Amino acid sequence: MPSTTALSGTTRLHDIADLVAAVPHLLGFHPTESLVLVCLTRRKKRTRVGLALRVDLPAVADRQAVAAQLLAPVLGHGATRIVAVVVCPAKPGPWPAELPHAGLIAELDEAFAAAEIRVRHAVWAESIVDGAAWRCYDEPDCGGTLTDPATNPVAAATTLAGNVTFASREEMRALLDPDPPDALARRTALIDALLDGSAGVTPPGFDGPEAALRTVHDTIEATAEHRLQLSDEDVALLAMGLAHHSVRDACLATVLGDRAEAAERLWLELTRAVPGPERAEPAALLAYASYLRGDGALASMALEVAETADGSHRLTRLLRVALDTGLPPDQVGLLALDGVAQHQRLMGTT
């Protein structure tokens, strides 16, 4: 269930159609066959768009469970109202008396009302593209056609924030596809050799955690200068450095500096390049960085990669709880302060 994109400054949406057209930018991709919830909060007499959540449209028997699943992160985010958007084609023929998945909306109404959260609007859209039809579930005269999402005010805001809106969730997920098997096999052999030659006290291939952290930072600097060209040996050494938890935790602090974008690009590259259980380390760092940037969809996908690589990974478990309960990014950002403290301990600075 991905969270919304962080918007830069104030972005005004004029009506419900504007909000529906903004959904791909809030999620980071164009949803299909989806239920999307957009949380609304009230601050300083203004309604603000907050967390956005997406799930596959459930079978009838699973509607109640899905409503309960969605309630926890909405409560965690402190929302008092939500907008529900069902995205799917309508059945051919005359305009239906009942919109698709009306029973799901009824289930949401009941579950959220019990928690004193109001479903402010419930909307169906055949898709979220220019000219797509949309209708309200509870207002017969409420509906129309969507304007081009590319011209939506949120599109410019997400671009300014450095986020990309993908054509589909699958296209976004392809960012994390691993490198070819032969490259991963070469790096696995190098990692195994480093492990065989290590006593387990310091990161394999380094004199200690300090040297490993310096190598990571040097690589981030190179990335910032667009010189990211990692050899198999580079990947193996970086994987071993990040596998040392004090080094990995110190890298959480990279979200705070002027090299945050370069660091995130390195974590993405290593998520694709690192084989085996060591892949969990850069994937978790990528999840953390993208979460704080407001790109909850990429954060969720990176966590899936980390969970597959290492099912007992501590940082991954912590971030999964934060994401699934809708913890705001600024609260998760407190981990970066722990990273600063770890960095200072390793490098002997204050």
Report H helices in 32-100: 63-77
Structure confidence at residue 301 (pLDDT)? 94
What is the tens place of the pLDDT at every residue in 286-325? 999 998 887 888 999 999 999 999 999 999 999 998 888 8
Structure confidence at residue 8 (pLDDT)? 42
What is the tens place of the pLDDT at every residue in 137-157? 988 889 999 999 988 888 777
In the chain the domains, ranked by start, together with CATH numbers, are: 16-166 (3.40.140), 174-347 (no CATH)
Burial of 203 (0-12, 13-18, 19+ CB in 10 A): buried
Contact 117/83 with Cβ under 8 angstroms?
Answer: no
**Helices and strands, counts by H and E, the chain:** 15, 6
**What does the alpha-carbon distance between residue 332 and residue 293 come to, in Å, rounded to a whole number?**
11
